Structure 1
Amino acid sequence: MVTKIGIRQLVEFVLRQGDLNETKNSQNTALVGAKIHRRLQSSRSDDYQGEVYLKTTVTMNGQDYLIAGRADGVQLTNDGVIIEEIKTSDQAFEDLTENTQTLYWGQVQVYGYLLLKQHPELDAVTLQLTYFQVATEKITKTQRTLTRAELTTFFTQLIQEYEYWLTLRADLRQRRNASISDLDFPFPAFRPGQRELAAAVYKTIYAHKRLFAEAPTGTGKTISTLFPAIKAMGEDLIERIFYLTAKQSTRRVAEEAVALMSSHGLVIKSITLTAKDQIRFPEERDVLPEDNPYMIGYYDRLKPALKDLLTHENQLTRTVIETYAKKHTVDPFEFSLDASLFCDVVICDYNYLFDPLVYLQRFFSESDDDNFFLIDEAHNLVSRARDMYSATVSDQPIAQLIKLAQPDKSQPSDDLQRELKKVRRSFTRLAQALMDNDLPAQVSPEPPETLLRTLRKFNEFVTDWMGEQKPSPLLDAVRDYFFDCLTFVKIGDLYNGSYQTRTVLDGHHVTVKQLCLDPSDFLDGSLQLGAGAVLFSATLSPMAYYRRVLGGTAESLAYQLPSPFPPKHQAILVTQYVQTTYRERDRNVERIIASLKALISARTGNYLVFFPSYGYLTQIKAAFELAYPEITTTAQEATMDAASRQAFLDQFQPAPAKTLLGFCVLGGIFSEGIDLRGSRLIGVAIVSVGLPGLNPETNLIRDYYDHQNGQGFAYAYQLPGMNNVLQAAGRLIRSRHDTGIILLLDQRFASRRYVDLFPEHWQYYQTIRSLPQLSATITNFWQQVKGAPTDENETHPSA
């Protein structure tokens, strides 16, 4: 397989120099850029050809490298050939740095060289850089005519400077593939279901498809997806794996899986990308880029830093990145992104692929079949994607900003005040329209165009204004509001039929929300940037729902594995005598606390009970502690840092001498991603069916899907709620020797609407009609159940 090097990647890596200046980065979305490209391309003459694929093969040290990319346009004229490169950004053309223009021209020069190589009859080519300033729609065109000799010299020098890195990549790839060839599954045996899942993943990669895989808790999803993907990489089916997750805990499990395979002989470069605000050094905070020693001269120190890192390390965790960034005085966040270009496995958050504002441009500016996506806990992507493609802006900060900008302040800005007042007037008109119609809120399928126009002009002004300011509280406050407005405008550019605009009047303030009700088309577009994807979770039922909302296509594959554990190791008990609807909650408090007491009385141990809200949790916990003060309890808090979360989990010790009952929230930090094996947890109770609270925005989702497929309530309320229930229940049985009870405290669980959603391993559920029956059933379960032996496969979190 020939190693592919993208032209943009090649040019940027070789030609970048000097400082890292983030203030120059554009905030445009890929979709907006693509729309502008198409618009400009369609306006060209008939002899203009857009998206021209150009390539050449370079051989060095016995290895072939494919240098390839797409020129935005090629036009044949009477005077010769024009090759066009289109760039879009927020900045004015005259404000672009010299290095930025060097990179732009570097790309088009490579395209010019490749075009002349395909047309030996031509001696020169005209290169045209077309620059589109998004805020003003001003177009700047500049041209250069270069000869074949000039372009050949440029390209040769470019490749010669990159030769070390090309050779390094080839050597890394050769060692990687050799180690993969000898790599066996890193456990003595496959756990039930693992071999089947691994085979399905491999076949998906081979066929360039998407696979939606439900693998119940205990299957060992991480190793069952990474192992076959890495084996496929060794056979040159793919070149890079992106392991995308929603939580730090699952990123750590992926790191552990790679480390485990590495301990069995795998030689591979993996990297974990950490959020910018978490990995940056404390001394970088509140420092302008031009004063930040880790950004000044960043590109001048980058290559030595990368050489040092890649020569000595294989697993590039946060700690490793920070160590080498400190050693070479480079910004750790940007350093991790640059290092990722040389990595085979990239472990990162969903937003690096799916978020339209922060996606990885160096990988996802265009489709690349060398990339493959493994998307862990894919059920979390539904709500995350809605958030990524939605935006909110309010007039609430404006009054304080105007006050800060008053002329008697240290840095007066009459112009800023004037622009802020224009924005405030736009909100005032929205508020007046609501008041005239005596409405607290209004919903429209149309984008808020008048507000968007105002904010675009405001953003343009603030972009220039911030470049002239010194650090101050005013600058910090304006910057925060600017980013809110900028995000709102960028999301407005994506507006389509899946959106609704909700305008809310709350007291004297107006809030406008652009709500993406169905992000599936956007997810589909992101997934098309690779050769395929596996979206997997313990809970992807019903499969048709998740395929619909997560960008599945008609060709997408689906695979559901049975639980690897004996179903009778857990009792599923549905209480028909408990009602938890809002109207019935107060009347059922006594039944709930008595049922919890029955759950924990038959055997000393650790238990968790989950509630749909903190308010309900607090109500039941207070009543339980009043009735049973001798029972030790603990509770999840609304805000918990990493230390307090760990302290909560540390209370659940193996084989406790006293019973512990923990109170948690459905869909919260303890309802998934925690691993309390064996006697650390022997019972889980779930109060209510987990429906999201009724609210106007979720009702909009309901109405949208009612129109789409008649299943609005299911898509907006029932299925997300049931997923939270299944995730919480999944905390119980984590290995073959685990046993325990799942107590479902809501009579609705016994209705056909919910029973049809039960997973296969809940087939032995029992309906309980009274407290005495519950106590007897629990006692009988503990008398009859016997634990199964453990095995080595279960001793590692990634198994």
Structure 2
Amino acid sequence: HLTCELSLQKTDPWRTLPLIRAVRRHPAGAWHRLTTLSTRTLAGTTELLAGWLSDWLARWTQPGDLFQDTRPEQAHLNTLLKLLTLLEQPPETLVFQHTGNQLHIRALDARHHLQQVLGQAQGCALFSATLQPFEPWQAVYGVSPANTLSLPSPFPADRRCVLTITNLNLRQRHREAHWPAIAHLTARIWQQRPGNYLVFTPTRSAATRIRTLLHQFYPSLPVHLPETADEDHALMETMATRTDTGVVITPLAGRWCEGIDLPADALLGAVVLGTGMPPWDDFHQHRADWAREQGWDGDTHTFVYPGWARVLQALGRVIRTPEDRGVLVLVDDRYARPPLSDLMRQRFPDAVDVKTPRQLDALLGRFWAGT
């Protein structure tokens, strides 16, 4: 995302920008389209920022000095460059929010910026295991039309056990009542094959509640809820060398969703609670409206596809080599209905929907018996 945050304390230079004076005439806390500001305000702000940039760059005699400087001016310069980049985008693609001492500006659509960057190259290759279906991501990245290539997975499907549990409603208003059932589900999965597992939750408060219930119902089950980056890294190192670490509970948007590699028995399974969709808040409503203005399905582009990509990233922690085996469990009633049911069939045609605890035990028992 293209985004910029400005501190508006008395000592910060941004307070003198025409943009800031205009922004503060809007209600605090809510997100607003930048088009509610006059073109004169935006042009005056850009002109002033360009002057500041020239003044700051003149302070360094060698190009390398710019990146070695650690004074507060360096942080101001980085923020200035972000702000200038944002203000180069079409105003109708930007929204802002102020909260008294801070201003946030975000792009609803980064295609203009991406096209500027990618246009400097002879060609580009964008690749990820989360880019399907191709069409919406081509539109979002502004690379349509483009050549696409879908490669088969190098990981044998019979080395994974993909399960859905679609009789639980984990929307925000209903999920609290289901946390005891989730605690029992987690314990049953672990009991079938004790080892290291990840449980991804919609929020940190949900993770805390599930950990409390697991301690209450299953005091001998090792459960972890890391709070800091240092705790995350220490736990990852432990899991890489010990297969009895237990269950790690973490928010789906946290550091455990990508960039970690725990092959073989270092990680036996992952449970994803919910759909990974962004919150139904003011900012994402603006983004959905913008998507509809482009002729897209606003809710699907804003909520479903980003959530699905996040879910795939989390599940991807389990199978890291062709020799790995693991269990992938997705819990939410929305996986049984379009569009998520369609995405499930395309990605996991072998998924089984579990209706009872006895069925869960039987499926996991047969899977692990094949190792």
TM-score, normalised relative to structure 1: 0.42
Does residue 698 (structure 1) correspond to residue 284 (structure 2)? The answer is: yes
User: Any residues of structure 2 matched to 1:60-139 within 5 Å, and which?
Assistant: none
Within the candidate set 489, 503, 507, 2:84 is matched to 489
- Indicate conservation of the 8 Å contact 2:89/2:112, yes or no: no
Does residue 630 (structure 1) correspond to residue 217 (structure 2)? The answer is: no
Within the candidate set 511, 517, 526, 2:103 is matched to 511
Q: Could you tell me which residue of structure 2 aligns to residue 647 of structure 1?
A: 234
Amino acid at match of 2:353: T
Amino acid at match of 2:291: Y
Q: Could you tell me which residue of structure 2 aligns to residue 534 of structure 1?
A: 125
Instruction: Quote how far apart the aligned CAs of 1:781 are.
Output: 2.4
Distance in 1 between the 2:37 and 2:249 partners? Answer: 42
Q: 1:535 is paired with a residue of what secondary structure?
A: coil
Identity of aligned residues (%): 24
Does the C-alpha gap of structure 1 residues 447 and 636 become closer, same or farther in structure 2, counting only changes over 3 Å? farther
Distance in 2 between the 1:526 and 1:461 partners? Answer: 24
Within the candidate set 241, 251, 265, 1:665 is matched to 251
Does the C-alpha gap of structure 1 residues 530 and 653 become closer, same or farther in structure 2, counting only changes over 3 Å? closer
Distance in 2 between the 1:634 and 1:462 partners? Answer: 47
Q: Could you tell me which residue of structure 2 aligns to residue 393 of structure 1?
A: 6
User: Any residues of structure 2 matched to 1:143-292 within 5 Å, and which?
Assistant: none
- Indicate conservation of the 8 Å contact 1:611/1:686, yes or no: yes
User: Any residues of structure 2 matched to 1:592-611 within 5 Å, and which?
Assistant: 592-611=182-201
Amino acid at match of 1:757: L
Instruction: Quote how far apart the aligned CAs of 1:594 are.
Output: 0.8
Instruction: Quote how far apart the aligned CAs of 1:558 are.
Output: 0.9
- Indicate conservation of the 8 Å contact 1:427/1:510, yes or no: no
Does the C-alpha gap of structure 1 residues 454 and 521 become closer, same or farther in structure 2, counting only changes over 3 Å? closer
Instruction: Quote how far apart the aligned CAs of 1:731 are.
Output: 1.4
- Indicate conservation of the 8 Å contact 1:456/1:489, yes or no: no
Q: Could you tell me which residue of structure 2 aligns to residue 616 of structure 1?
A: 206
Deviations 1:223-266 (A, max 9, x none): xxxxxxxxxxxxxxxxxxxxxxxxxxxxxxxxxxxxxxxxxxxx
Distance in 2 between the 1:752 and 1:465 partners? Answer: 53
Amino acid at match of 2:160: Q
Amino acid at match of 1:683: G
Q: Could you tell me which residue of structure 2 aligns to residue 525 of structure 1?
A: 116
Q: 2:142 is paired with a residue of what secondary structure?
A: coil
Instruction: Quote how far apart the aligned CAs of 1:592 are.
Output: 0.7
Does residue 745 (structure 1) correspond to residue 321 (structure 2)? The answer is: no
Within the candidate set 709, 713, 716, 2:299 is matched to 713
Q: Could you tell me which residue of structure 1 aligns to residue 63 of structure 2?
A: none
- Indicate conservation of the 8 Å contact 2:223/2:248, yes or no: yes
The runs of 5 or more residues in structure 1 that have no matched partner are 1-385, 402-418, 469-474, 787-799
Does the C-alpha gap of structure 1 residues 777 and 743 become closer, same or farther in structure 2, counting only changes over 3 Å? same
- Indicate conservation of the 8 Å contact 2:239/2:245, yes or no: no
Q: Could you tell me which residue of structure 2 aligns to residue 278 of structure 1?
A: none
- Indicate conservation of the 8 Å contact 2:31/2:95, yes or no: no
Instruction: Quote how far apart the aligned CAs of 1:466 are.
Output: 9.6
Q: 2:229 is paired with a residue of what secondary structure?
A: coil
Amino acid at match of 2:4: A
Deviations 1:260-287 (A, max 9, x none): xxxxxxxxxxxxxxxxxxxxxxxxxxxx
Distance in 2 between the 1:574 and 1:482 partners? Answer: 49
Instruction: Quote how far apart the aligned CAs of 1:461 are.
Output: 6.0
- Indicate conservation of the 8 Å contact 1:634/1:662, yes or no: yes
Distance in 1 between the 2:350 and 2:53 partners? Answer: 63
Q: 1:744 is paired with a residue of what secondary structure?
A: strand
Amino acid at match of 2:26: L
User: Any residues of structure 2 matched to 1:29-40 within 5 Å, and which?
Assistant: none
Amino acid at match of 1:568: D
Instruction: Quote how far apart the aligned CAs of 1:574 are.
Output: 0.8
Amino acid at match of 1:635: L
Instruction: Quote how far apart the aligned CAs of 1:750 are.
Output: 1.9
Instruction: Quote how far apart the aligned CAs of 1:464 are.
Output: 4.6
Instruction: Quote how far apart the aligned CAs of 1:593 are.
Output: 0.5
Amino acid at match of 1:391: C
Instruction: Quote how far apart the aligned CAs of 1:661 are.
Output: 0.7
Deviations 1:710-746 (A, max 9, x none): 3111111111111111111111122232222111121
- Indicate conservation of the 8 Å contact 1:692/1:721, yes or no: yes
- Indicate conservation of the 8 Å contact 1:702/1:713, yes or no: yes
Q: Could you tell me which residue of structure 1 aligns to residue 268 of structure 2?
A: 682
- Indicate conservation of the 8 Å contact 1:443/1:503, yes or no: no
- Indicate conservation of the 8 Å contact 1:768/1:774, yes or no: yes
Q: 1:578 is paired with a residue of what secondary structure?
A: coil
- Indicate conservation of the 8 Å contact 1:654/1:678, yes or no: no
Within the candidate set 162, 166, 180, 1:590 is matched to 180
TM-score, normalised relative to structure 2: 0.85
Distance in 2 between the 1:737 and 1:465 partners? Answer: 55
Deviations 1:525-573 (A, max 9, x none): 322323322211122111111222223232x211112222321221111
Aligned length: 361
Amino acid at match of 2:196: N
Q: Could you tell me which residue of structure 1 aligns to residue 319 of structure 2?
A: 733
Distance in 1 between the 2:81 and 2:322 partners? Answer: 51
- Indicate conservation of the 8 Å contact 2:53/2:80, yes or no: no
Q: 2:95 is paired with a residue of what secondary structure?
A: strand
Q: Could you tell me which residue of structure 1 aligns to residue 41 of structure 2?
A: 450
Instruction: Quote how far apart the aligned CAs of 1:501 are.
Output: 3.3
Distance in 2 between the 1:651 and 1:741 partners? Answer: 20
- Indicate conservation of the 8 Å contact 1:604/1:659, yes or no: no
Within the candidate set 494, 497, 500, 2:94 is matched to 500
Higher normalized contact order (CA 8 Å, seq sep 6+, divided by chain length): 2
Computing the radius of gyration over CA atoms, which structure comes out larger, 1 or 2?
A: 1
Instruction: Quote how far apart the aligned CAs of 1:634 are.
Output: 2.2
**Structure 1 vs Structure 2 CA RMSD:** 3.1
Does the C-alpha gap of structure 1 residues 488 and 531 become closer, same or farther in structure 2, counting only changes over 3 Å? closer
Q: 1:511 is paired with a residue of what secondary structure?
A: strand
Instruction: Quote how far apart the aligned CAs of 1:666 are.
Output: 2.0
Amino acid at match of 2:90: N
